[in-house]
């Protein structure tokens, strides 16, 4: 059974080359971003997540909403194990598939086929599992003879197709999606939509960060509204989106 538990989780990101001058007063009134705290005159950090406690159980489909810099992507990265929290405890039970940083683990000098193996290994596949799925993944990418060419010869849309094809071939317990997956041209998007539908439907636990209410209503039953790294509201998707929209247009 998949689950994610945050207990009083905080993430501070140190910033080494910010100037204090621009940060002086206007931070306090900033509508976007996390909380900037000058720890002393030379060291500044951004508190991207601030004391977050949260339990997501198997079957949860939650959308993360909030202003730019509210902490949504940081939360996803903590859930994926990419960021270690600076405070608090995180417990994640189940295989996690992060659908962001799609180029991560890909080698520009390796061919498409070799990159399928590389990314597959990164996502936890054994070599034999990947070999079994190679043809299917290649077909989904629809890259044809380009699969024999080095990744550096691909356009960004072509590279995304390849990463998408590999990532959606696993059956994760926990699926983490950051919006802006931007999978490419219209034909691929249509095909990607159908594959995504099945992929999302099969995940035990789904977390999506998005600014699109339509997308969130389509996939989620609950929503979590983040504000300056803190949880402002967590509950039924329609209720949270309504409250969030009201605050944005107020
Ligand atoms: N590498 C970094 N260095 C410094 N600060 C960072 C870094 N990454 C994120 N932050 C800060 O952490 C805070 C949370 O950022 P995060 O990307 O989680 O926000 P978000 O809610 O996903 O925003 P958006 O909707 O714009 O994608 C922001 O204030 C941001 O400036």
Token duo for residue 165:
């094809």
Radius of gyration of the chain (CA): 20
The CATH superfamily holding the domain 3-95+209-249 is P-loop containing nucleotide triphosphate hydrolases (3.40.50.300)
Ligand 1 centre distance from Cα of residue 187 (Å): 32
Answer whether 54 contacts ligand 1 (Cβ < 6 A).
Answer: no
pLDDT at 151 over 60: yes
Ligand 1 atom closest to 211 (CA): 25
Q: What is the pLDDT of residues 51-65, one digit of tens each?
A: 999 999 999 999 999
**Residue 25: CB within 6 Å of ligand 1?**
no
Q: DSSP label at 39?
A: S
Query: Cβ(68) to ligand 1 under 6 A?
Result: yes
Cα→Cα distances 28→36, 42, 44, Å? 9, 19, 15
Task: Give CA–CA dist 135/93, Å, rounded.
Answer: 31
Residue with the smallest CA separation from ligand 1 atom 26 is 68
Reported as a single tens digit per residue, the pLDDT across 35-92 is 776 655 567 888 999 999 999 999 999 999 999 999 999 999 999 998 999 999 999 9
Ligand 1 atom nearest residue 74's Cα: 18
pLDDT digits (tens, 9 = 90+) for 170-193: 778 898 888 765 545 556 666 777
Distance 91 CA to ligand 1 centre (A): 22
Q: How many CA atoms lie within 13 A of 246 on its CB side?
A: 6
CB of 91 closer than 6 angstroms to any ligand 1 atom: no
């Amino acid at each position: 059974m998949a689950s994610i538990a945050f207990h009083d989780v905080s993430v501070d990101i140190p910033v080494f080359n910010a100037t204090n001058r621009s940060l002086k007063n206007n931070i306090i009134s900033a509508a976007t971003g996390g909380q900037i705290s000058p720890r002393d005159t030379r060291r500044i950090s951004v508190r991207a997540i601030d004391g977050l406690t949260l339990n997501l159980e198997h079957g949860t489909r939650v959308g993360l909403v909030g202003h730019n810099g509210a902490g949504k992507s940081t939360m996803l990265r903590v859930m994926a194990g990419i960021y270690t929290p600076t405070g608090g405890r995180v417990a994640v039970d189940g295989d996690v598939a992060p659908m962001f940083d799609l180029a991560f683990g890909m080698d520009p000098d390796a061919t498409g086929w070799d990159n399928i193996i590389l990314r597959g290994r990164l996502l936890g596949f054994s070599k034999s599992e990947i070999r079994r799925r190679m043809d299917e993944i290649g077909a989904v990418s629809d890259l044809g003879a380009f699969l024999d060419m080095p990744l550096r010869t691909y356009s960004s849309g072509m590279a995304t197709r390849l990463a998408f094809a590999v990532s959606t071939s696993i059956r994760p317990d926990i699926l983490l999606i950051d919006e802006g997956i931007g999978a490419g041209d219209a034909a691929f998007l249509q095909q990607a939509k159908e594959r995504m539908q099945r992929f999302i439907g099969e995940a035990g636990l789904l977390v999506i960060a998005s600014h699109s209410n339509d997308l969130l209503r389509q996939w989620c039953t609950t929503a979590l509204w983040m504000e300056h790294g803190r949880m402002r509201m967590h509950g039924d998707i329609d209720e949270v989106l309504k409250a969030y929209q009201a605050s944005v247009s107020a």
